[in-house]
Amino acid sequence: MTKYRRVVVSQYGGPEVLEVVEDTLPEPRPGEVRVRILAAGVSFADVLMREGIHPETTRPPFTLGWELVGVVDKRGPGVLGQQLGDRVAALSVRGSYAEYLRIPAEDLVPVPNCLDPVEAACMAFVHLTAYQMMYRAVRVNAGDRVLIHSAGGPVGTALLQLGGLSGLEMYGTASQRKHDLVSRLGGIPIDYKAVDFVDEIRRLTRDGVDVVFDGIGDKHILRSYKVLRRGGVVVAFGHATSLIRDGRLTGGRRSRLRGLPTLAGQIIRSRLIPDGRKVVPYSIQTLKRRHPDWYREDMAALFTLLSQGKLTPIIAKQLGLKEAAKAHELLSEGSLVGRIMLVMR
């Protein structure tokens, strides 16, 4: 029986719980395709799932991996859309730290052959998040003024790249060492460790911004709300960053719901108080479930932008499957600028 390798979270915990195991190659069920994976991204959401904090996590043992690019290896009964050998991408949510994965055919998006598979894989989660927040959760217009938190991170840099294409005026909070990157991508950097970003935005803009992208969460959202102009929107898309203290995640599993009461309270409050400002939540998974058509359209739009040279994935390191634990250590240290990609050779 043919075997394949995948990385398993044996129990919730640190990078040491990641184990490479050998398994029997899975057979695709009706409506599914087996994909031979070429590349998968390593993301902060994977770290949260490994720790058992992320809402999409499941009970161990399970395989991590939010995104992939691969090749159609076998079609299950009833699959007509894809041909063997087609290059495809997917938001897998789990399972792409592996050589193969069974996945519903409807979740696959074609990847143009001209694209580098590692670069394309780098688009499928964080760029999709950024794209949908910008053009689905809110519809930005040229000249809009936006504040992007964690602007030097994966989602932040994707927002800056897309915002640059849309002609936005952009401000971004980041540590000092990421300021060059933020400036190069067209943002005005704000050192959130040295200054209060609320004061700084008021000083720089006088009347505030149209949109804040806030992946920090919890009470941070209340401060983001303060810098909105009339008619402005905070897009709240994460709360886990608020759990990082000195580069380490704090709180463990019990903290996974911590930011939600503040978020819910602020959404309700912004609806009850007619001051023209609001908070909208964004979740890539919820939007995919509600609008699978948008998911496919938006990922295809990103691949078009990539093939036109309008987007540049920022990749810090390419590692093999066996190095998944090392990838998580590097990610948690927070010293890398750019993404870590797992490449299956």
Ligand X SMILES: NC(=O)c1ccc[n+]([C@@H]2O[C@H](COP(=O)([O-])OP(=O)(O)OC[C@H]3O[C@@H](n4cnc5c(N)ncnc54)[C@H](OP(=O)(O)O)[C@@H]3O)[C@@H](O)[C@H]2O)c1
Residues near ligand X (CB under 6 A): 43-45, 126, 129, 149-150, 152-156, 173-175, 178, 192, 215-216, 237-238, 240-241, 244, 282-284, 334
CB 126 to ligand X: min, Å: 6
Q: How far is CA 63 from CA 91, 101, 175, 300, 309, in A?
A: 14, 10, 32, 26, 33
Tokens coding 297: 């359209």
User: Residue 4 or residue 66: which is nearer to ligand X going by CB?
Assistant: 66
CB 23 to ligand X: min, Å: 28
DSSP-based helix, strand, coil % in the chain, nearest 5 = 40, 30, 35
| Max CA pair span of the chain | 67
> Which helix (DSSP H) or strand (DSSP E) does residue 225 occupy?
helix 220-226
Q: How far apart are CA 51 and CA 13, in angstroms?
A: 5
User: Residue 9 or residue 72: which is nearer to ligand X going by CB?
Assistant: 9
Q: Considering only CA atoms, which of 75, 77, 101, 76 is closest in space to residue 90?
A: 101
User: Residue 100 or residue 282: which is nearer to ligand X going by CB?
Assistant: 282
CB 334 to ligand X: min, Å: 4
User: Residue 241 or residue 270: which is nearer to ligand X going by CB?
Assistant: 241
DSSP structure class, residue 62: B
User: Residue 155 or residue 211: which is nearer to ligand X going by CB?
Assistant: 155
User: Residue 150 or residue 270: which is nearer to ligand X going by CB?
Assistant: 150
Q: Minimal CB distance to ligand X: which residue?
A: 153
CB 282 to ligand X: min, Å: 5
Q: Considering only CA atoms, which of 223, 215, 176, 217 is closest in space to residue 198?
A: 223
CB 81 to ligand X: min, Å: 26
CB 50 to ligand X: min, Å: 13
Q: How far apart are CA 185 and CA 338, in angstroms?
A: 13
